[in-house]
Every structure is written in structure tokens, then in C-alpha cells.
């Protein structure tokens, strides 16, 4: 084999168009979307990103039923609740997940940009960038596609998310785009999944400690995130993960 032929053989196969996949999977079940994701990008090139938050177990359960060895990327920001870290460990054992990768922010970036750990208050977008966006971008470099748990019923910028979208160099799969809150509850009940420990305390959505608060009855599920600010997303879903 010539040198050029060898180089071409090592290059990853071209990804199918996101819009074509989205049309084909518009009415597919979450499990069918994950199977299609594996077929589209290849077994070694797909990861799932999970916060191990209040609804995360449902998607992780569906993924585990398809293939529990799919890499799961977990962003350990340094500001997470101890309950979330414990819940991660509980679900790894309960679901038989075999490749959960806890990713942390760059220590040099933290020491230079957030030495006093007050960036969450003075500039929450910058805090999310160095603790979530940049670490995730690094973690996703080996992958051609990633799965996340956003749902349209969560509202805001998530209301119209497709099932599959273009994410720069990767495909981004949203298997739960079409599910309802009742669907999520049914998955938990059927599989007897343990709830996140903070749900009983009134947290409907859990992220970093300083930027998460309890929600009142009737509030949007994500109302407790960055309460009192215009901010509604950390940034990993509002910019391309090139």
C-alpha cells in the first residue's frame, strides 16, 4: 500500500448529513436513536455526556440497555453537590456502566481565571466556560458523535431541538428530544431507578452548587438554575464543540 493510500485508510469515514438523520429519526424511540448513532459514527467514535442530574438515569438506562460500554463523559466542575458525585457512583453500579470518564477543568485555567472561586458570581458565563465548555471540548476530541439528554419539554432554547444536529466536527444526538415528563417517570418506575438524592429536597434540576436552587410547585423544571439571571444555559449546548 502506498503512503497516500495508508493515510487515507486511517482517516475516519465521512459522517452522514445531520438533517438527513434527523428526518429519518424524527419519530424514533430513544433506543432506536442510540442504535442509529452507533451505526452512523461507529462504535469507537460515540460518547454520551451526562450530568448525572435529576433526570439523567433515564437516558443512561436506555443507553445501558443498548450498550453499557459506550463512554460516558461526566464534567466534574469542582462545584458539584456531594449528592451528585454519590449518585454518579450509584448509577454506575446499578446500570453496569463500564466506561464513565470524570473530566475536570484545567488547573492552570482555574488558578489564573478563578483563583478565589468567585467567578460563578462575577461572571457565570466565564465560569461555565472554564469549568464545562472547555473541558468538554477536550474530552470530545476523539469522538465523531455525542449523545445528550435535552428534552423539548424543558422549554427555553430547548423547545425546538432536533433529534440529530450538526455540532461542528461532530454529530449531536438528542434521543430524548420527543419524550415527555411522563415518559421519563415511566422509565424510572419500570426500571426501579433510584432518584437523585436532592429531588426530595425540592431540586428539579441540579447543576453546580452556587447556581442551583430549589423550584416551587408549578415552576419550570429549570427555573432553579442561575435564578435571578438571564442565563439559562451553561454553554455546552449553545456553541459548537469543534
Residues in CB range of 47: below 8 A, 6 or more apart: 70, 71, 72, 73, 139, 140, 143, 145, 146, 147
16: DSSP letter: P
122-163 pLDDT tens trace: 999 999 999 999 999 999 999 999 999 998 887 777 778 999
Which residue among the candidates 127, 208, 211, 234 is catalytic per the annotation?
A: 234
Q: Where do the structural domains in the chain lie, given as residue ranges?
A: 15-211
Residues in the chain, how many?
Answer: 242
15-211: CATH topology: Rossmann fold (3.40.50)
Report in angstroms the alpha-carbon separations of 140 from 17, 28, 47, 72: 19, 25, 8, 11
Q: What is the pLDDT of residues 65-101, one digit of tens each?
A: 999 999 999 999 999 999 999 999 999 999 999 999 9
Q: Which residue has the higher pLDDT, 62 or 3?
A: 62
Q: Is 234 a catalytic residue?
A: yes
Amino acid at each position: 500500500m502506498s503512503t497516500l493510500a495508508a493515510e487515507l485508510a486511517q482517516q475516519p469515514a465521512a459522517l452522514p448529513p445531520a438533517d438527513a438523520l434527523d428526518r429519518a429519526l424524527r419519530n424514533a424511540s430513544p433506543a432506536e436513536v442510540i442504535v442509529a448513532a452507533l451505526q452512523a459514527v461507529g462504535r469507537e467514535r460515540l460518547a454520551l455526556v451526562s450530568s448525572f442530574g435529576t433526570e439523567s438515569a433515564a437516558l443512561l438506562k436506555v443507553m445501558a440497555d443498548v450498550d453499557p460500554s459506550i463512554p460516558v463523559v461526566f464534567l466534574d466542575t469542582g462545584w458539584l453537590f456531594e449528592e451528585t458525585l454519590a449518585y454518579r457512583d450509584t448509577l454506575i453500579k446499578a446500570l453496569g456502566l463500564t466506561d464513565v470518564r470524570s473530566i475536570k477543568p484545567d488547573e492552570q485555567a482555574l488558578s489564573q481565571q478563578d483563583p478565589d472561586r468567585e467567578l460563578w458570581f462575577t461572571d457565570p458565563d466565564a465560569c461555565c466556560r472554564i469549568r464545562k465548555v472547555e473541558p468538554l471540548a477536550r474530552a470530545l476530541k476523539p469522538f465523531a458523535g455525542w449523545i445528550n439528554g435535552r428534552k423539548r419539554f424543558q422549554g427555553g432554547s430547548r423547545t425546538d431541538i432536533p433529534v440529530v444536529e450538526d455540532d461542528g466536527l461532530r454529530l449531536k444526538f438528542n434521543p430524548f428530544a420527543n419524550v415527555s415528563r411522563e415518559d421519563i417517570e415511566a422509565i424510572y418506575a419500570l426500571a426501579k431507578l433510584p432518584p437523585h438524592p436532592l429531588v426530595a429536597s425540592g431540586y428539579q434540576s441540579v447543576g453546580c452548587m452556587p447556581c442551583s436552587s430549589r423550584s416551587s410547585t408549578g415552576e419550570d423544571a429549570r427555573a432553579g438554575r442561575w435564578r435571578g439571571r438571564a442565563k439559562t444555559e451553561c454553554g455546552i449546548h449553545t456553541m459548537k464543540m469543534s
